[in-house]
Structure 1
């Protein structure tokens, strides 16, 4: 039913795409002002609404550059209940700063992590404290003129027509690729058929000639917030309640499914703030499982939004993920990014 309604809105998708094209044309031709800075400002973004792996890529770049430069991370802080500019602290809650910035701060506690809807204003507040800025989800923030743009496109979306909002999930069409300095195709399978790879590259080459890279999700070990790793030898006899509040949970479920005796999936919308009723429902679902070998599993991002009291009362594990480059492309990508931060 929802899909049918979205297709009824297709005329609005055409209008939306036209407005976006006009807006980009105005910025490209300097009819609208963009602000630039004298130090490297690197953005990571996408053309779609969520689900391309911006957080793992942000962490990858931060891990690569932080030993060499004092680089800050600036995010919008999607899902937070606050407004304006804020410094992110390890002890903050996701409601204050957003789940993704909080995840990054907790993994890189000595990094400067901030949130602000107005990216230009946000950079202005920290420009005297840093050497460079890394922004996530800022590809459409045209008021800012970045020095380098990393565009993420997920593999699955490129197998289908690119349809803008509200019928589809794209903020802009593939024409927007031309603003990118490098493109990364994320969430790829381990093996990409040659014909599919050729089709993807032919499609993108109509709009850009920049370097293309391919990555897959590299799942790490299930662990608690205290670093306790789940014993993988008993998973085949274990029932798992999997909680997801992410845009595209299917890859996670496909990864976990074969490892466990049974999966019970409780799905919530992306960046969902868990209510007391939600938490009670999760607890009851867990308690009603008729075996002692049972756990609750969630994503690292969702873990930021779960109360510490709930975490303490349940055998709760999260699954960290990282970006892994295919076709031995990691060194080439790293070199390009390091040059971008040195300019």
Structure 2
């Protein structure tokens, strides 16, 4: 923890008090939360920074989209549009934000919407002629104005919310006591061989309640990299000289998975809007070598770098164990909520 963050500790106490009062007012019904007559699953975290929300949302899309009409609703971080936007053929990352645009490109059968006001976004989605049957709220754990039917809380391995404090001294958006609102807690970005002893140790640190489920996931990298019209096996390109580009919160595992001693790597802030200067730097560094970036950054870089040079590496969230039980929990919630809706 740097000196400035330590000096800001009095403000952390004040911030923690304000967020605790806000949560108390919502818990007691003094501030109103709005419920909706369909299954709504909120995925979020207590901390700022990357805990793996995007691969978790994609996991839920794959789990549910064969059986239900799915919509995702995100804030659309760093987008250059305002209000409610429903993705269509004219949309791009500047209109939607990088992660919603990634959903839109990958999953042709779902609706993708952005709105900082989640209540308004849900109402607008339900006003469409093609109404969703399930809504996935992306990064909405603190959005108390909407009461979701099911909450999934993510926390990163090695950066657990139980070991942190609130902003600006720490990285938490609210006190770790907010974790009690979660139905499921997922520890993300774990080593794939995480032992049962360490899982139990983490469970005790997080103080998981009896009514909550705990799971552990790891980042599973694709065996191919992809361009607009080509794919290459990762094993084949690891020995190539290349440039790796990442604008994500914690790029080290991405670099480590692909990098050899001769590779160059460029790291940018999370959700970075690449400037002309950035593009020129990448081109000059790459020359005729291939450029590999994250899937999230690819949607921003596509069109600015040569198609034959630019590739991306997809990732997904995989469960160390218990995936069947997690799937059953989600499917049971959605089916139960959908059945109740039809009955009443």
* Residue matched to 2:137: 135
Distance 2:50 2:306 in 1: 25
* Residue matched to 1:283: 283
Distance 2:280 2:135 in 1: 40
How do 1:17-166 and structure 2 match up within 5 A?
A: 17-128=16-127, 129-158=131-160, 161-166=163-168
Tell me which moved more, 173-182 or 193-202.
Answer: 193-202
Partner SS for 2:37? coil
Post-superposition shift, 1:91? 4.6
Tell me which moved more, 22-31 or 3-12.
Answer: 3-12
Deviations 1:19-43 (A, max 9, x none): 1111111101111000000111111
Deviations 1:138-161 (A, max 9, x none): 000000011111111111212972
| Gap change, CA 1:138 and 1:180, over 3 Å in 2 | same
TM-score (norm 1): 0.92
Matched positions, count = 333
Post-superposition shift, 1:85? 0.1
| Gap change, CA 1:148 and 1:237, over 3 Å in 2 | closer
Partner SS for 1:310? coil
* Residue matched to 1:301: 296
| Gap change, CA 1:240 and 1:160, over 3 Å in 2 | farther
Distance 1:204 1:159 in 2: 8
* Residue matched to 1:272: 272
Partner SS for 2:290? strand
What's the C-alpha RMSD, in Å, of the aligned pairs? 1.9
Tell me which moved more, 164-173 or 181-190.
Answer: 164-173
Deviations 1:99-132 (A, max 9, x none): 0000000000221110000000000011141212
Post-superposition shift, 1:267? 1.1
Residue segments in structure 1 that go unaligned for 5+ positions in a row: none
Distance 2:332 2:236 in 1: 46
* Residue matched to 1:333: 326
Deviations 1:168-196 (A, max 9, x none): 22112221110001111110001224443
* Residue matched to 1:203: 205
- Is the 2:86–2:113 Cα contact (8 Å) retained in structure 1? yes
Distance 1:237 1:132 in 2: 44
